Amino acid sequence: MRYTYLWLMQLVTGVLIAVLLGIHMVIQHLEDILRFLGFNLNDPASWQSMMERSREVIWAGIYIALLAVVLYHALNGLRNVILELTPSARTERAITWTIVAFGVIVFAWASYVPIALLSR
Amino acid sequence: MRQIRPRQNYLGAGGWVWAGNYKLERYLYILHRVTGLGILFFLLAHLIVTTFFRIQGQEVWEKAMTILNNPLFKTGEYLVAVAFVYHALNGLRLILQELGFLMAKPIPPIYPYSDALRKKRLWTMAIIGIIAILCLVFFYDFIVGGW
């Protein structure tokens, strides 16, 4: 893939993360402010509330989508940072494939968990 | 005889933290990078906690949460929230400016120089203001939610 497309995807995933992670942060952390505005979430960080969410397919889908998007954005960003040291083409390939392998492993494990939790 | 010496202005890793006489946007860029790397480390820690501990059931999870519920980690979490707010809004600015919004029309560089970014510096300032307000909102939550 040409580097331009990698960068374009970095921008697109950036916007997606700003929306999805913004929702995640507001729900998980701004509970008191949401209650003040009229939304009562009943302690979203507790085990019970977490389990209720993880039994729903839509939440598992959201988490896996968020995981994929965040991993791409984070690891592509890390690669951009490292490549600013202008390594040789050989080293660059090694860095790229290490990062790709790392990303695939993390994605496989971390997307297995919400799927396994669906039936608990 | 003078030789061509390539990459004389090449800063290497030093350029990641040192921007010299460059202006505001360059320092925002350095902060963008620092917060990005910080969030990356948090992401990995967060994934470890929410997968390895969570899949082992309620007891292990709640034990892990009690360990993590101390002032040091709470402060760290607040810093991650601030880093996220900064990275998100500064990133939004970067995307808009890459697409040509929020900046003036480019002109030939004639002294005194005035680049397209600096003419609309007010937008950058507005975004820094929004970042500061959101940081205060999360600080309120951090204080109310207990250390």
pLDDT for B14 equals 78
> Would you say residue A69 lies in a domain?
yes
- Domains in chain B: boundaries: 20-144
* ipTM reported for the complex, 2 dp: 0.89
Range of the domain at A111: 3-18+47-117
Cα separation of the two ends of chain B: 66
Q: Which residue carries 């959201």 as its tokens?
A: A62
**CB contact residues (below 8 A), chain A span 83-112, against chain B:** 84-86, 106, 109-110
As a whole number of angstroms, the distance between CA A111 and CA A48 comes to 21
Is residue A58 one of the residues assigned to a domain? yes
Asked if A81's CB is within 8 angstroms of B39's CB, the reply is no
Model confidence band, residue A39 (pLDDT cutoffs 50, 70, 90):
confident
Q: What is the pLDDT of residues B114-138, one digit of tens each?
A: 778 878 889 999 999 999 999 998 8
Would you say residue A102 lies in a domain?
Answer: yes
In-domain check, residue A31: no
- pLDDT higher than 90, residue A111: yes
Among all chains, which residue has been given the structure tokens 């917060």? B35
Quick one: how far is CA A47 from the chain centroid? 21
Residues constituting chain B? 147
Note whether residue A38 is domain-resident. Answer: no
In-domain check, residue A41: no
pLDDT in tens, B67-80: 888 889 989 999 99
What CATH number labels B20-144?
1.20.1300.10
- Looking at every residue in chain A, the average pLDDT score rounds to 89
Assigned domain for A32 exists = no
A30 to B141: CB separation less than 8 angstroms, yes or no: yes
Tell whether A61 lies on the interface with B, counting CB pairs under 8 A: no
Q: How many domains does chain A have?
A: 1
On the question of pLDDT at B6 being above 70, the answer is no
- How far is Cα B83 from Cα B35, in angstroms, rounded to an integer? 5
Within 8 A of B95 by CB-CB distance, chain A residues are 11, 14-15
